[in-house]
Amino acid sequence: MRILISADAEVPVPPRLYGGIERIIDLLIREFRAAGHDVALVANAESQANPSRLFSWPDSTSVGTRAAMRNSAALRKATRSFEPDLIHSFSRLMWLLPLAADRTPRIMSYQREPTGRTIRASRSLHRGRLHFSGCSEYICRNGRQRGGGDWTAVPNGVSPSAYTFRPAVPADAPLVFLSRIEPIKGCHSAIEIAKRSGRRLIIAGNHAGEGDLGVYWRERILPHLGRDGIEYVGPVDDVRKNELLGSAAAMVVPVEWNEPFGIVFAESLACGTPVISAPRGALPEIVEHGKHGFLVESIEDGVKAVEELASIDRRACRDRFEREFSSPVIASKYLSLYRRIIDGHRPRGSH
């Protein structure tokens, strides 16, 4: 197959620091090319990925009318030059507009809840040639209900070689919170669960210095650091992330919003580390309660989950990752989706 993938314009593929979907796109390119497919990428000009062909966005922003017009034209030009069998957009739905009359089938992938009005309008403009995917069934269900259309759930994933499976950790292993430090990620609840459980907690991730999120950091997180076994280590790179997750008794990220997916949950399972979170958004699709961790709805439930961590088989966590969220599995799911869509758009009697 000849596959054209587009990424958002702001972050290179792969990202230098943070950039979850850009990391996944890089993995997909590697997997697709290893399987013998030609892959073109339209991305930030500083991208270091290794597709068959690399096209750069003229504007390194997704904001504003000028950027939308220039980047839309660039995507159309790349399509005409590469002549793909299928276009897979991880960028902006609007940038597909100049391709509305093009016969090439296309997929728009969502990492956030879609807006029904734009889905309905785009389906009409693209006349059946636009399909949708989401990083979870939760996202796809919202898309179908709000805008209709053909939706397929393909979860995010990571490379199995990037995370080391740890079959056991010491009895006094710490809990770990690894995410952005903001209310919807539940860092304050993770602190309270750790304190009531008498367990150490290592907090890793970015925090804001200004605005409401800065107030959250200063008033609800900072006063606890350096006391009662609560430690903050700042943002971490992939190597340190592997070490932190692998050495943890559990990753505790009790989200307070409908999480679309959350790559860090798959990363934790890859290390064999159970997850303690909440039954919101896509979490029930990632963690089977009582088998790969616990989905809790209160601090008290979180404390009980910590007490029951010995009942979780870390091998079962790694098996869950390898079966559902490893990059070869994710790539295979996308390739199956591509074939189905391409076959569905072939004229009758063609081969």
Which helix (H) or strand (E) segment holds residue 53: the answer is strand 53-56
Q: How confident is the model at residue 348 (pLDDT cuts 50, 70, 90)?
A: low
Q: Give the pLDDT score at 304.
A: 98
One DSSP character per residue, 171-235 reads TTPPEEEES-BSGGGTHHHHHHHHHHHT--EEEES-B-SSHHHHHHIIIIIGGGTTSTTEEEEE-
Rounded percentage of the chain residues whose pLDDT exceeds 90: 93
What's at 181, amino acid-wise?
I
Residue 324 has pLDDT above 90, yes or no: yes
Tens digits of per-residue pLDDT, 128-174? 899 999 999 999 999 999 999 999 999 999 999 999 999 999 999 99
> For residues 96 and 92, what is the distance between their CA atoms, to the nearest angstrom?
7
Rounded average pLDDT over 183-196: 98
What is the structure's pLDDT at 119?
93
Contact 265, 276 (CB under 8 A): no
**Backbone dihedral angles phi then psi of residue 52, each to the nearest 5 degrees:** -65, -40
Please give the pLDDT value at position 347. Answer: 64
Mean pLDDT of 41-61: 97
Pick 160-324's CATH classification: 3.40.50.10790, 3.40.50.2000, 3.40.1010.10, 3.40.640.10: 3.40.50.2000
Which of 83-87, 105-109, 161-165, 344-348 is least confident? 344-348
State whether CATH 1.10.3720.10 applies to domain 2-155+327-345.
no
pLDDT on residue 127 = 86
**160-324: same fold as 2-155+327-345?**
yes
* pLDDT greater than 60 at residue 217: yes
| pLDDT at residue 326 tops 70 | yes
pLDDT band at 15 (very low <50, low <70, confident <90, very high): confident
User: Max alpha carbon distance in the chain (Å)?
Assistant: 71
User: Could you tell me the residue ranges of all domains in the chain?
Assistant: 2-155+327-345, 160-324
pLDDT over 70, % of the chain: 98
Confidence of residue 350 (pLDDT cuts 50, 70, 90): low
